[in-house]
């Protein structure tokens, strides 16, 4: 069999004048990091590989579950129980093309992000929690690297391309993350595939434009915060400006990057229980009544008493305290406990 003709493979893509042959060549030389390869991250990785991005590094700490399959496009029933990063790599390998896909089944934190992002020109947000997003923002602002924020819950989502020093960072727009439990999550409010696909498409389009555009012309890309609801068929494009008083890109304070991940999830000896604390390097407080109301509305049975919220999910028992600390009974794996914490208490 003769070698594939990549020029022919990307013929229609190159015919798009804004990209052209020069832009396609830049894509094939590019290296990007996708943090998380579940719903958003999997769709992002699929589009990047089909577009011919040269090196796509996937990082995800979780395993495939049955409930992932309706919206996480890289997985099949046979992947259940496998690390998401490795299952995603297997699916993407069947596409062929010039992309080299690297998969790492790891938890991303302040201690390893620099190594995970080594050589990457761009970071893409496929995560499911705000602590990691604020960490990525700190890292990219400190290093001067662009990244694309994206988030989806229910039928709606947000996208914001972030180019340090040329536009706002995440903290210019959202100065502080809300406390744990303050926002709905996919596990409490649900999520549908069309919303995931739409937000991932906008993220990927912004990524391709950044990678295909010479750095000296990045100032021509006007930053916008895009809000989309696919159920209501509504969208808004909001101007986003740098905040000169921003603690991150203005004062260059990086609390999320400076906070070590050590100790955030600790297996309690002999108890089949993991204690999980919120990340971010700052003290947190959980709004337990609001969290209880959201969980109860989603069908969870719970008890809120004496400043402690108790409920069960995924066969595990959660005990959540006012300081946003949680004990998760029924497992000993800190990484798995961290993932469950983010799914049911994070955002």
Closest CA to 313 of 296, 293, 325: 296
Task: Give me the residue label for tokens 């604020």.
Answer: 134
Please identify every residue annotated as catalytic: 186
Full 3-state SS string of 174-188 = CCCCCCCCCCCCHHH
Apex CA 63: angle with CA 27 and CA 90, to 5°?
A: 45
CA distances from 64 to 137, 212, 336 (A): 27, 33, 12
Cα of 175 vs its chain's centroid, Å: 18
Cα end-to-end span (Å), the chain = 48
Which run of H or E residues covers position 266? strand 265-268
CA–CA separation, 200 vs 206, rounded Å? 10
CA–CA separation, 214 vs 2, rounded Å? 34
**Token pair of 25 as six digits:** 């060549």
What's the CA dihedral at 160, 218, 111, 170 to 10 degrees?
-30
Closest CA to 48 of 126, 119, 159: 126
Query: Sign of the C-alpha dihedral, residues 23, 28, 30, 35?
Result: positive
Which run of H or E residues covers position 296? helix 288-297
CA–CA separation, 339 vs 129, rounded Å? 9
């Amino acid at each position: 069999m003769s070698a594939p003709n990549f020029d022919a493979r990307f013929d229609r893509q190159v015919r798009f004048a804004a990209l052209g042959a020069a832009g396609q060549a830049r894509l094939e030389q590019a290296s990007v990091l996708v943090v998380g390869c579940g719903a958003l991250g999997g769709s992002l990785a699929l589009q990047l590989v089909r577009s011919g991005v040269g090196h796509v590094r996937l990082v995800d700490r979780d395993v495939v579950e049955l409930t992932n399959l309706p919206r996480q496009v890289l997985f099949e029933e046979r992947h259940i129980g496998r690390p998401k990063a490795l299952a995603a790599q297997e699916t993407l390998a069947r596409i062929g093309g010039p992309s080299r896909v690297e998969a790492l089944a790891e938890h991303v934190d302040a201690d390893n992000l620099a190594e995970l992002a080594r050589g990457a020109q761009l970071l893409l947000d496929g995560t499911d929690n705000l602590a990691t997003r604020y960490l990525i923002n700190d890292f990219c602002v400190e290093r001067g690297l662009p990244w694309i924020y994206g988030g989806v819950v229910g039928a709606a989502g947000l996208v914001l391309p972030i180019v340090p020093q040329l536009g706002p960072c995440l903290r210019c727009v959202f100065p502080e993350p809300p406390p744990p439990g303050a926002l709905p999550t996919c596990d409490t409010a649900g999520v549908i595939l069309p919303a995931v696909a739409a937000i991932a498409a906008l993220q990927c389009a912004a990524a391709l434009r950044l990678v295909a555009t010479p750095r000296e012309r990045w100032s021509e890309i006007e930053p916008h915060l895009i809000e989309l609801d696919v159920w209501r068929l509504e969208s808004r494009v909001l101007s986003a400006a740098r905040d000169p008083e921003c603690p991150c890109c203005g004062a260059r304070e990086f609390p999320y990057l400076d906070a070590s991940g050590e100790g955030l999830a600790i297996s309690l000896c002999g108890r089949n229980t993991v204690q999980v604390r919120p990340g971010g390097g700052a003290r947190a407080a959980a709004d337990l009544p609001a969290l209880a109301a959201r969980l109860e509305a989603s069908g969870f049975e719970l008890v809120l008493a004496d400043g402690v919220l108790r409920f069960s999910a995924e066969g595990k028992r959660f005990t959540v305290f006012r300081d946003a600390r949680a004990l998760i009974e029924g497992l000993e794996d800190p990484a798995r406990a961290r993932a469950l914490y983010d799914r049911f208490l994070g955002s």
